[in-house]
Structure 1
Amino acid sequence: MDLVRLDMEVNPTKLDYYGDMSKLQSKSTLISDCKGDDGRRALILESTIFHPQGGGQPSDTGVITVADSDFKFIVQDVRSKNGIVFHYGVVESSGGDFEILLEKGKEVVLCVDESRRVLNSRLHSAGHLLDVCIQAVGLGHLESGKGYHFPDGPYVEYKGSVPQNEVQSKAKELELEANALISKGGKVFVAVLPYEEASELCGGCLPGYIPKGSTPRIVKLGDKPGCPCGGTHVSDITEIVSMKVSQIRTKKGMTKVFYTVGA
């Protein structure tokens, strides 16, 4: 099916993980079995618990099956385009007629890889924790920008500089502050809220890219100010386990803070 036509014909995918990030298995309805822009096979569903890559967070992986059959679709990558979530992967099955099994309206079962979801959620939550710690250690002049919360080298990038002679000391201060907060713990609040209520939870204002009158999804770590985010997170700060600030690097007015989380 042509993706341009698909974008016009299919309703946005309902994101079930928005409301319950601990849910790792669910049922949904198949909308389409198609090919993506790069030729990969993709399944489009009415709803999904799979987090698509975005916001600096890698996608979930896992399996989609059809009840009462040996059909198994290995989800290798998940992407979102114009609100439609594409589950990319390969069919792994011992037999059966795929065209019949993948007819529109078929009920399917979604299973997310738990270990990958947990790690991604911990890394993403740790990135938000860094923002809190930046303020606490006297680096409030840094303006938070993009984050890269992938296991191969997570970091948060900030607009602004840290003097070279303070880099090591500030890295240590950030690490101590982060681990103190992790040890203390605190519930992580995540909800889709009306604009005014969301703004209040985020310290009285929202970033300019959030349209007024919209209903942004907000994440709030313990009693700290919240921020807009569409990713998955831990339910309590203690689940991050521990944090190591491995490096602070400033270049051309931008600062990257690299970190890892404990096993």
Structure 2
Amino acid sequence: MAQREHSDGAAMELTTPTKLEYYDQLLKLQSKAILLSSFKGDDGRKALILDSTVFHPQGGGQPSDTGFICITDSNLRFCVQDVRSKDGVVFHYGVAEDSSRESELEQGNGKEVILQVDESRRRLNSRLHSAGHLLDVCVRNVGLGHLEPGKGYHFPDGPFVEYKGMVSPNELQTKQREIEIEVNALISKGGKVYAAVLPYEEAAELCGGSLPDYIPQGSTPRIIKLGDNPGCPCGGTHVSDISEIISMKVTQIRTKKGTTKVFYTVGA
């Protein structure tokens, strides 16, 4: 259950999770929603809470979307600068384009709003995030199946995937080249990317027979499947076809203290 503080200090409980419109519609960049609440955050920016959103909140190693939210019966535009999620409730942080009209947001509760995601930022983030998952596939394909995928950092400034396990120092350069060749072969081949929320057993089967321990049995995880490759649980945004990643360069592999990091970039 998420809470937020009004300026007068009174707390408002928000028990209904925000519906995520991008969950099963990978290409969706615009949507309509109802404004449920607006308030001033600790940093002075406004935060909007909606019944649904097409904005991806920061998380899973992926930065948040940015863009605009407009109240349909006025020309007021709210610039979304950051998006965060807590206990299933999504908070859209930003400022009114015309600061003198910011008070109108507080009078807009219950009104319909139009959401527009910044397309160029979404596409870059989706390409980087999808490339990270494709990297997992290629790491296994080049004989490094003992590496267990861990956290990823899919931001433009130095994306990487971290794995549990080590690579022999003598193999680092060879494996770096092999992974890059393998991943670019998959990108050239292409393949549709699918996203679906599935029953636990069906999700496990799509992911090679099992799911990570952090996913509770009996739950309904969202699964991403890149082409003919095994699926994986993920809540982020993705390309609609593997070929949209364009190309990928493995810039470095570091192995130290039981972990291996594979750094990469994607083509312009």
Shorter-normalised TM-score: what interval?
A: over 0.9
Query: What does the per-residue CA deviation read over 1:128-185, in whole Å, with 9 as the maximum and x for residues that have no partner?
Result: 0000000110111111000000000100000011111211111110000000000011
CA contact (8 A) 1:30 1:102 kept: no
Give the letter aligned to residue 183 of structure 2.
Answer: A
SS at match of 1:29: strand
Equivalent residue in structure 1 for 2:206, among 201, 204, 212: 201
Write the distance in 1 (CA, Å) between the matches of 2:72 and 2:188.
43
Is residue 112 of structure 2 the alignment partner of residue 107 of structure 1? yes
Q: Which residue of 2 aligns with 1:237?
A: 242
Percent identity of equivalent pairs: 72
CA contact (8 A) 2:71 2:108 kept: no
Write the distance in 2 (CA, Å) between the matches of 1:99 and 1:10.
25
Write the distance in 1 (CA, Å) between the matches of 2:223 and 2:126.
15
SS at match of 2:64: coil
Is residue 73 of structure 2 the alignment partner of residue 55 of structure 1? no
* Deviation of 1:70 (Å): 2.4
Q: Which residue of 2 aligns with 1:149?
A: 154
Q: Which residue of 2 aligns with 1:212?
A: 217
**Aligned-residue RMSD, C-alpha:** 1.6
CA contact (8 A) 1:70 1:94 kept: no
Change (3 A) 1:155 1:70: same
Query: What does the per-residue CA deviation read over 1:98-148, in whole Å, with 9 as the maximum and x for residues that have no partner?
Result: 336643101111000000000000000000000000011011111100000
* Deviation of 1:38 (Å): 4.4
Moved more, 27-36 or 236-245: 27-36
Give the letter aligned to residue 146 of structure 1.
Answer: K
Structure 2 residues not aligned, in runs of 5+: none
Write the distance in 1 (CA, Å) between the matches of 2:192 and 2:26.
14
SS at match of 2:217: coil
After superposition, residues 73-88 of structure 1 pair within 5 angstroms as 73-88=78-93
* Deviation of 1:220 (Å): 0.9
Is residue 188 of structure 2 the alignment partner of residue 188 of structure 1? no
Q: Which residue of 2 aligns with 1:19?
A: 24
Write the distance in 1 (CA, Å) between the matches of 2:166 and 2:180.
18
Q: Which residue of 2 aligns with 1:225?
A: 230
Query: What does the per-residue CA deviation read over 1:176-235, in whole Å, with 9 as the maximum and x for residues that have no partner?
Result: 000000001111111000111001001111111111111000001111111100000011
What TM-score, normalized by structure 2, do the two folds share? Answer: 0.93
Give the letter aligned to residue 17 of structure 1.
Answer: Y
Q: Which residue of 2 aligns with 1:46?
A: 51
Equivalent residue in structure 2 for 1:130, among 132, 135, 154: 135
Q: Which residue of 1 aligns with 2:123?
A: 118
Moved more, 51-60 or 9-18: 9-18
SS at match of 2:205: helix
Q: Which residue of 2 aligns with 1:178?
A: 183
Change (3 A) 1:182 1:197: same
Q: Which residue of 2 aligns with 1:2?
A: 5
Write the distance in 1 (CA, Å) between the matches of 2:63 and 2:194.
21
SS at match of 1:17: coil
Structure 1 residues not aligned, in runs of 5+: none
Equivalent residue in structure 2 for 1:252, among 252, 257, 260: 257
Write the distance in 2 (CA, Å) between the matches of 1:242 and 1:254.
26
Write the distance in 1 (CA, Å) between the matches of 2:83 and 2:105.
23
* Deviation of 1:23 (Å): 1.0
Write the distance in 1 (CA, Å) between the matches of 2:70 and 2:255.
47
Is residue 84 of structure 2 the alignment partner of residue 92 of structure 1? no
What TM-score, normalized by structure 1, do the two folds share? Answer: 0.95
- The count of residues paired between Structure 1 and Structure 2 equals 262
